[in-house]
A and B are shown apart, each in its own frame.
Chain A
């Protein structure tokens, strides 16, 4: 069966520090991968999605970037965090067009 791992679960980082969140999927190949952010009490904002290695689509221009160095690995990064980057970051995968997505446990990031 397929599983998705996302870590860490919580993170407190100072303003201006770098960020790296990692997500890996097991039990499937060539998944679509997604990064979402959820502000407190709000919906899911799509940040990036990827349909293959090295293929990244950015939805919201900001100081975040994403990379997909391996088929089942998706990384969210920032060189310098802002206070507004605080939120609940969720990684998800699905198997292709028009298919349901499954989420990791999420990372709650607080920038102080």
Chain B
């Protein structure tokens, strides 16, 4: 099993709809989880961090964490064409949680 897995997509969502992105991880002891957005040809930028079970909201973005099921998701409400990008999930791995591992990313396209 890969350390961090994402559906590579592409995921196509109409403008104004909710985009749902999912990520699973293999290390049950992982404590922090990050979502990054990467535009084509650019470096990834952090958009959300989540550490506790449940939901964390920031503007149009909501991160959801379920440690028992070992998955973390990202919801984007009122999707805009500017949200079209690749979204990467990242998890620090034990022991030491110094090794930051990324999933392969999900390419999201918002259709006007």
Interface of A with B (CB < 8 Å)? Answer: 32, 34, 36, 42-44, 46, 49, 51, 57, 59, 90, 92, 94, 96-106, 108
Contact = CB atoms under 8 A, between A and B. Distances in A.
B88 A44 contact: yes
B97 A98 contact: yes
B43 A106 contact: yes
Given A43-B103, A44-B44, A44-B102, A101 B97 contact: no
A101 B100 contact: yes
Contacts of B96: 51, 97
Interface of B: 6, 31-32, 34, 41-46, 49, 51, 88, 90, 92, 96-105
A96 B92 CA distance: 10
Contacts of A100: 32, 34, 46, 49
A106 to B, nearest CB: 5
Contacts of A43: 6, 88, 102-105
A61 to B, nearest CB: 16
A98 B51 CA distance: 9
Given A98-B31, A100-B34, A100-B49, A34 B43 contact: no
**Smallest CB-CB A-B distances: 6 pairs:** A43-B104, A44-B102, A98-B32, A97-B97, A103-B43, A106-B43
Contacts of A36: 102
Q: Which interface residue of A34, A44, A94, A99 has the most chain B CB atoms within 10 A?
A: A44
